[in-house]
A = this chain, B = another copy of it.
């Protein structure tokens, strides 16, 4: 069900990557309230990480109301779930692009080089999202 790839090289916390992947899956794929998520132990084994890390991610999703825990049974897609509003998505994109552009400019790259780096990255993005063109 969940296709998650963990990048251990970057600085992105593993638990955050899980949270974002689940959040994205729930927003785009055909999941219905009540559908089961992989168990903490199963996902941990699949990703070769510590179960605590998965539990941490699930706890955050529960707190945000996207999934529910049923003790002894597992985690399930929540009845009334909220995802990012369009406004929130815009806000987050703005913050991310600001951070990126500033860093790249301070590294003394020209705008065209910066655009090129982004193009290369987007052209073979592994996330399976929409592709350019």
The residues of A with any CB-CB pair to B shorter than 8 Å are: 7-8, 10-13, 20-21, 23-24, 27-28, 63, 65, 70-71, 81-89, 91-115, 117-119, 121-122, 125-132
CA distance A99 to B13 in the complex (A): 12
Query: Chain B: which residue is nearest A23 at the CB level?
Result: B106
- Hey, which chain B residues are within 8 Å of A119, CB to CB? 115
CA distance A130 to B113 in the complex (A): 11
CA distance A117 to B100 in the complex (A): 11
* Cβ A88 vs Cβ B97 within 8 A: no
CA distance A117 to B101 in the complex (A): 10
15 A-B contact pairs sorted by A residue (CB < 8 Å)? A12-B99, A23-B106, A27-B105, A65-B88, A83-B84, A84-B85, A89-B107, A89-B108, A93-B107, A93-B109, A97-B117, A98-B121, A110-B129, A111-B122, A114-B118
CB distance from A65 to the nearest CB of B (A): 7
- Hey, which chain B residues are within 8 Å of A103, CB to CB? 92-93, 96
* Cβ A108 vs Cβ B92 within 8 A: no
* Cβ B131 vs Cβ A122 within 8 A: no
CA distance A95 to B7 in the complex (A): 12
Candidates B87, B108, B130; contact of A28 at CB < 8 Å: B108
* Cβ B82 vs Cβ A88 within 8 A: yes
